[in-house]
Amino acid sequence: MLRPKAESPGALRAYLENQPAWLWPVLIVEWPFAWLAYVLGNWSIVRVCGYLGKLSVLIAVVFYFTESPDRAKQKHYQAWQVINTAQHMGGSGGRIDALSELNADGVPLVGVDVSSAFLQGVQLPKARLLRANFDNADVRSGDFAGADLTYASLRGANFRQSNFARASLNSADLTDTDFCSAQLRDADFDDATLDGADLGNADLASIKWQHVKSIRKANIAGVRNAPDGFVSWALKNGAVQADANSSCPAPSADR
């Protein structure tokens, strides 16, 4: 049943009436299309198709949001594939982005193995990295502020100028780890092993050091903002103050 929703365009003469003559060529072309739109607009099937089109958009939106958890799982699975495939290999292998994306989505990185990887500048603030393996990795200028590295192994890794503010390094193996010019403010080193570590020019403000497991041969030359008693305790327990390392200058300002 036809139910007009708009006025008919009428005859061509009426369509052109009261319109400037210079516009007539355009209106003459438009007039049959106006009729076509008028006729189709009165067909119920056309209106139903319009409603169905809008409904399909709504359904697509609903499916988009209901399937978002599956898309997130797929993204996380792909990121883990990148990390695991490149395990024990040098270079980045896409692991910088994969780790950062997983951490940004709140995925725990417990036990992740990135030994020997090139991860310079990786962003892992507040990451859950318990028992992670960073042995011999190059992680200069990384961000681990507030991260949990309890029981992690960082043996021989390069963390120069990295940010470990408020990080937990409880029971971590930091043997020969390079923390030169690193930000270690408020970091927790309870039961951590720092033998041979390089803390040259590192910011040690308010670190928890009273229960460090071992600090033999660690370099504490030029440490900044060291807590009262730390330097004398460290030297007494085997730490050294090596000559200033020209390749590890003190930062121009505390970060």
- DSSP, residue by residue, 125-159: TT-B-TT-B-TT-B-TT-B-TT-B-TT-B-TT-B-
Give a yes or no: residue 1 inside a domain: no
**Percent of the chain's residues with pLDDT above 90:** 58
Write out the H or E segment, with its range, that includes residue 84: helix 68-85
What is the rounded average pLDDT of the residues 181-201?
97
Residue 230 has pLDDT above 70, yes or no: yes
49 and 80 together in one domain: no
| 209 and 108 fall within a common domain | yes
Task: Judge whether 227 lies within some domain.
Answer: yes
Domain boundary among 66, 85, 106: 66
pLDDT of residue 75: 84
Burial class (CB within 10 angstroms; exposed 0-12, middle 13-18, buried 19+) of 18:
exposed
Residue 236 and residue 138 in one domain: yes
Span 102-128, average pLDDT: 95
Do 32 and 93 sit in the same domain of this protein? no
Count of structural domains within the chain:
2
Quick check: is 241 in a domain?
yes
**Is the same domain home to 127 and 189?**
yes
85 and 37, same structural domain? no
Indicate whether 113 belongs to any domain: yes
Residue ranges making up the domain that contains 52 = 12-66
pLDDT > 70 in the chain, percent: 76
User: Could you tell me if 144 and 198 lie in one domain?
Assistant: yes
Task: Among 46, 66, 86, identify where a domain stops.
Answer: 66
26 and 103 in a single domain? The answer is no
For the cut 80, the answer to whether the pLDDT of residue 119 exceeds it is: yes
Q: What is the pTM (predicted TM-score) of this model? A: 0.71
The token duo for 8 is: 């008919």
- Pair 113, 196 in one domain: yes
CATH label of the domain that carries residue 132: 2.160.20.80
- If asked whether residues 129 and 32 sit together in one domain, one would say no
Q: Is residue 95 part of a domain?
A: yes
Please indicate, yes or no, whether residues 134 and 249 belong to a single structural domain of this protein.
yes
Residue 191, in any domain of the structure = yes
Q: Is the alpha carbon torsion for 56, 62, 68, 74 positive or negative?
A: negative
Contact 117, 96 (CB under 8 A): no
> What would the pLDDT profile of 82-111 be if each residue is shown by its tens digit?
998 877 777 777 899 999 999 999 999 999
Co-location of 124 and 235 in the same domain: yes
Question: Which of 31-40, 203-212, 243-252: highest mean pLDDT?
Answer: 203-212
d(Cα 106, Cα 8) in Å, to the nearest integer? 60
Whether the per-residue pLDDT at 71 is higher than 60: the answer is yes
